[in-house]
Amino acid sequence: MITIDKLSADTFDGIIFAERQVNRWMNGSSFFRRTQDLNPGFAETQANLPEPIMMAITYEDIGGGQVRITVYRNAEEIGSYNSGNFRTWPTGDAEIIFGKRHGAMPGGPGALDALIHSASIYDLAATASQIEDIYAAGPDGGATKLPLDVSASGDDLVFTWPSLGGKLYNLRSETDPSVGEEGPVDWPIYDGHMDIEANPPENTLTIPRPDDPARFFVIEEFDAPPVAVFSDDFEGGLGEWTIGSDGEAGTAWELGSPSNVGPDAANSPDNCFGTNLSSNYQTDADVWLRSPVIDLTGVGGATLNFSQFVDIEEGFDSGEVVVLDAADDSQLAVIESPVDGVTADWEDVRKSIPAAALGKAIKIEFRFTSDDLENYAGWYVDDVAVTVP
């Protein structure tokens, strides 16, 4: 659908359809060096075809020559993974190809039978929230209109609008609605009413009625800066974290400083959790690490942040990050699965918490399982935080 291709070499990345899996999207790359099948992915059907589809792929430089590749369909994440062979496309040595695949010759060798309404390439790795905003704006880029009810109450005006946790609001106003190159977004803030915190499900603002014969108002909604509702660097001990095992003995989540195997030290400063801090994990393990209760009631969006070091037998042993309902420890959503392979060092992970887990009191669970064969250094976790929005 869209490819960025280096002119001087057969090096490319792109949004590709049905090349490795029938009716499924993927991140295409030269010789599949940065390509993996997506989990869970998404299989298009004939029923989907009449409706426009927005595909987006982000590439986040996570250091050490590694890139975090995340694929979205209609703002819903359908797969994410880390890959090596990180590439750049210098100015003057790149072409953008629409509807065609890459090629050693400019223009690419193949075409996609589709109507492309619009396409963009950004010089940043957009967050999940930014992807949602792009999707909400639609292919024409217009802002989503927020309903605003205005009523009179004596000498006052009362503004009422639907609100979401994790959002802030500005009241903007003009006497001439034609003012502003970008429309109401350029109108001035009215009487200091800015950065209004959300009060879900509805906000109300009362102001003195202006003296102007005619005045126009809009409410502007935007994401609040991330605020940590939970964080732990494990320097204060176990606290309310809980650990357990549903597998064979010999493997456990341990808190302290790693030694002998795994990373040289914790991510910061001294302590981390690991699946055996000083030895390889053992066979037939099934061990879990659960966070204290994290309150996400009234929250419209949240992000899990943590650091990890991974040395897990790929394809056979694995980790999984899930969200549990704090009321009964039942699973609400999977954040990341599988976690396996080997990282060169500690890496930072940032994942949106699925909508199914919002509005509840939750726990984050890190679960590790192994088979009956090889043993590796394991999985190490540090600096866990949940931010909103």
Mean pLDDT (the chain, rounded): 89
Instruction: Please tell me the predicted confidence (pLDDT) of residue 169.
Output: 96
Domains of the chain, residue spans? 2-137, 149-223, 228-388
Instruction: Please tell me the predicted confidence (pLDDT) of residue 317.
Output: 98
Q: Are 143 and 193 in contact (CB under 8 A)?
A: no
- Cα–Cα distance measured from residue 105 to residue 299, given in angstroms and rounded to the nearest whole number: 50
Q: Which residues contact 359 (CB under 8 A, 6 or more apart)?
A: 296, 297, 298, 299
Tens digit of each residue's pLDDT (9 = 90 or more) over 150-169:
999 999 999 999 988 778 99
Of 214 and 114, more confident: 214
Half-sphere exposure of 82 (CA within 13 A, CB side): 26
pTM exceeds 0.75 for this model: no
Q: Are 309 and 348 in contact (CB under 8 A)?
A: no
Helix (H, G, I), strand (E, B) or coil at 356: helix
What CATH code would you report for 228-388?
Answer: 2.60.120.200
Backbone φ and ψ for 186, nearest 5 degrees, come out as -95, -5
- Cα–Cα distance measured from residue 119 to residue 111, given in angstroms and rounded to the nearest whole number: 16
The structure tokens listed for 171 are 């009241």
Tens digit of each residue's pLDDT (9 = 90 or more) over 29-43:
888 888 999 999 998
Half-sphere exposure of 21 (CA within 13 A, CB side): 15
Tens digit of each residue's pLDDT (9 = 90 or more) over 270-313:
999 999 999 999 999 999 999 999 999 988 789 999 999 999 99
Quote the longest CA-to-CA distance of the chain.
Answer: 80
Prior bond to 184 cis, omega within 30? Answer: no
- Cα–Cα distance measured from residue 99 to residue 202, given in angstroms and rounded to the nearest whole number: 44
Q: Are 168 and 195 in contact (CB under 8 A)?
A: yes
Residue 232 has pLDDT above 80, yes or no: yes
Tens digit of each residue's pLDDT (9 = 90 or more) over 99-119:
655 444 444 445 556 777 778
Prior bond to 338 cis, omega within 30? Answer: yes
